[in-house]
Amino acid sequence: MKKNFTNARLVLPDEQQPVEGSLLVEGDRITAINIGADDQPDGAIDCQDKLLAPGIVDLGVFAIDKPAFRFGGITRAALMPDQAPVLDLPAMIKHNAVDGKPDLWSHPIAAATKGLKGQQLAEIGLMQRSGAKAVATGRQWIADSGIMLRLLQYCKSLNLPLIVHSEDAGLTGDAVATNGETATRLGLASATAAAESLSIARDIALVRETGAHVHFRQVTTTAGLDLIRAAKSENLPVTCGITPAHLLLSDIAISDFRTFARLSPPLRDEANRLACIEAVRDGTIDVISSGHDPRGPEDKRLPFAEAAPGMAGAETLLALAFTLVRDGIIPIGRLFELLSTNPAKILGVDAGLLKAGHEADFILIDEDAPWQVDTRKMAAAAGNTPFDGLPVQGRVTAIYKGGRAY
Amino acid sequence: MTSHKTASSQTFPAGSDAFPHRHLLGIAGLQPWEILFLMEEAKQWVDLNRKSSKHADRLDGLTVINAFFENSTRTLLSFEIAGKRMGADVVNMHAAQSSIKKGETLIDTAVTLNAMKADAIVIRHGSSGAVQLIADKVDCPVLNAGDGRHEHPTQALLDALTIQRRRGEISGLTVTICGDVMHSRVARSNIYCLTTLGARVRVCAPPSLLPAALDRFNVEVFTDFDEALKGSDVVMMLRLQNERMNGDFIPSPREYHYLYGLTRERLKLANTDALIMHPGPMNRGVEIDSDVADDLENSAITEQVEMGVAVRMACLDILTRKSRGVEGWS
């Protein structure tokens, strides 16, 4: 069945501003983009001048949380291997790949090492055969450089991207915050922000050695971003991501021991935050993801150091990312490269673009619609957002997965 | 530098305006007169504690729970004595007896304590911020008896009272705090307290035990103890935690003593009548030598312990005034 989405403002590849037009869908695929034409009256759906953008591909969530994803306009989610049990067996990949279908596609990411312990390579080839599109070190850093080298050699041979958490564990130890005035005032164990750049520097050296694609899941420091920038100028296959929290909040947000602002990597100081904004602007950062990790009171209503890191980010991802457009840092086209196109490209799936032949995953957005983040009213499995009470703008009004409305 | 009058000549706002806080969770954020008010109120209890009959009936019928989630002997005993001398029924809850060990969350414990209708709860906990977490869940005043590396407000108050009684003025004194500053809640509370009262505070520690951004706390930072000692009026030593010493933060106790131990010889660099302080328990021969610690003239270490009871009596008295219906304390 054909459907024509008319009277839309389309977020198209290589266009930085929305383009008025229509989008034709047949089955689960986009078949044509007819700019300015409404030539398919049968099955026409009037988008009422709303923004029609590719569905968000959320790279590196910790839970499949459909209500939250639907609210946030997420049509595909790449699930981190840090599950119970860990996604380190082909059967686990297969099992988790069907979670969420048909309205959400979950892409389970294979654990890089058995049990995510950083000691023995997991069966990444077999997990790829079971559907894994990427491999990840999980919340952990692989301390053993020899293991890391062999892992990258394997990933290269299998053409799988490796998603890494970049914090040198020898420096972070039991730290729960970044070194600085706030951590010292609160008496929290903290670590130098250099833990990140040290880890990135090692991995870039190994990328240079192996040619494997490494995606640094969250880069949050000036020094780390400088390393990524330099690696990209060498044409090394590296990409990196960030969350809205690291773009919009500094470590001051943990004052009063706010465990909802306890994240991993921890929030940085203002200078690092501004460097992250600049890296979004200049193209160093490739992906903005939610880091969705819903945590209930049993994990968060604890003393700060004992609380689990993580935030419920899926619902707020789009609205918070829209502030980058509203503040004039990036245009809308670039925003959806960060949210949809680039993460889909890293996973190697035909999504994240409004383009003929691609999966018909898209969302309609009223980008001016105001709403307020409220932990008590969230659709997510838990309301642990550091943005509680913040007034935001931008809301998904409809979500289409494979051409069907959900 | 701002000069503050000594407490004896200080006038304070009337009633609860002198200390308008529900809890005592830390020194950070307290106004100078609030700190001085607590110290001034403690003085009457110093006098009482020196009498043969030490009983006051001010807290008769009230229940004070000392909930200690972290081991402590000195502070627990001090709070227990303080509560009992005020006439309160004092109940001690030790970590070993706590349901936390059985998996109960801290908030569950707080709710349970609240249901027992305590009139004041004194809490020590190993995690920074834990006391505030409990304070948010209970109806009665909460006193922080030390939370992680964060704050230990009654220790800072008793230290300030000790200094004030020995030196008259705190404002203008040079106080050097030396030791494991990174892990020390005593250091943080003392930095806030003494700088608020106008002292010049120097902080000295091995670089591995100095927390970040201390220069933003209105203190001078040293890693050379000899330099820090020069011209000091007060030398406050901190306990070096033995469990952190081997090959972790410092090379060895022997090296630590060589670089940072307070010896008779090194003390000569400070002013001749420099006051020697230590929150205890001391590692004799590591951060402080016995002949310095036991100096009858200049060591105030046992006096600190004495002031501790008085300060805690004052805090219990002031924080329960509202519930006791004391005039002006609404």
* pLDDT tens digit sequence for B83-119: 999 999 999 998 656 656 556 778 888 889 899 999 9
Return the C-alpha torsion angle B192, B211, B301, B12, nearest 10.
0
**CA of A17, closest CA in chain B: separation in Å?**
44
Bond into A294 cis (ω within 30)? no
Neighboring chain A residues of B147 at a CB cutoff of 8 Å = 187, 303
Cβ-Cβ pairs closer than 8 A, A with B, add up to 69
Of B149, B212, B216, the CB nearest to A187: B149
Q: Which residues pair with B246 in a beta bridge?
A: none
Q: At what angle do helices B185-196 and B153-167 cross, to 10 degrees?
A: 50
Among A250, A291, A377, residue whose Cα is nearest residue A258:
A250
Please state the pTM of the whole predicted model. Answer: 0.93
Among A245, A248, A236, A154, residue whose Cα is nearest residue A200:
A236
Mutation target vs A (from B69, B127, B186, B217; most A CBs, 10 A cutoff): B127
Average pLDDT over residues B247-275: 94
What does the mean pLDDT of chain B come to?
A: 92
Q: What is the pLDDT of residues B141-170, one digit of tens each?
A: 999 999 999 999 999 999 999 999 999 999
Neighboring chain B residues of A187 at a CB cutoff of 8 Å = 128, 147-151, 185, 188
Q: Enter the DSSP assignment of B208.
A: G
Neighboring chain B residues of A180 at a CB cutoff of 8 Å = 212-213
Average pLDDT over residues A131-157: 98
- Binning pLDDT at 50, 70 and 90, where does residue B2 land? very low
Q: What is the pLDDT of residues B307-328, one digit of tens each?
A: 999 999 999 999 999 999 999 9
Among B179, B303, B320, B184, residue whose Cα is nearest residue B250:
B179
Q: Under an 8 A CB cutoff, do B211 and A190 touch? A: yes
Q: Under an 8 A CB cutoff, do B132 and A257 touch? A: yes
- Taking an 8 Å Cβ-Cβ cutoff, which residues of chain B contact chain A? 28, 105-107, 125, 127-130, 132-133, 147-151, 185, 188, 211-214, 216-217
What does the mean pLDDT of chain A come to?
A: 96
Q: Phi, psi (5° rounding) for residue A172?
A: -75, -35
Lowest-confidence region among A98-102, A160-164, A285-289: A98-102
pLDDT for B107: 86
Q: Report in angstroms the alpha-carbon separations of B296 from A249, A315, A356, B54, B164.
A: 53, 66, 89, 26, 18
> Which residue of chain A is at minimal alpha-carbon distance from B183?
A187
**Would you say residue A40 has pLDDT above 60?**
no
- Binning pLDDT at 50, 70 and 90, where does residue B6 land? very low
Q: Which long-range contacts (CB under 8 A, 24 or more apart) does B17-24 make?
A: B19/B318, B21/B319, B22/B135, B22/B141, B22/B319, B23/B135, B23/B141, B23/B142, B23/B143, B23/B144, B23/B319, B24/B141, B24/B142, B24/B143, B24/B144, B24/B153, B24/B154, B24/B315, B24/B319
Tokens representing A50 are 């709303």
pLDDT for B7: 45
pLDDT for A34: 83
> Which of residues 159 through 218 in chain A touch B, CB cutoff 8 A?
179-181, 183-190, 192
Interface predicted TM-score of the whole assembly (ipTM), two decimals: 0.90
Give the distance, in angstroms, between the CA of residue B126 and the centroid of all CA atoms in the same chain. 15
Mutation target vs A (from B100, B111, B128; most A CBs, 10 A cutoff): B128
Q: Under an 8 A CB cutoff, do A256 and B128 touch? A: no
Among A404, A29, A395, A346, residue whose Cα is nearest residue A213:
A346
Which has the higher per-residue pLDDT, B114 or A218? A218
pLDDT for B3: 38
pLDDT for B106: 85
Q: What is the pLDDT of residues B41-82, one digit of tens each?
A: 999 999 999 999 888 999 999 999 999 999 889 999 999 999
Q: What is the pLDDT of residues A270-301, one digit of tens each?
A: 999 999 999 999 999 999 999 999 999 889 99
pLDDT for B132: 95
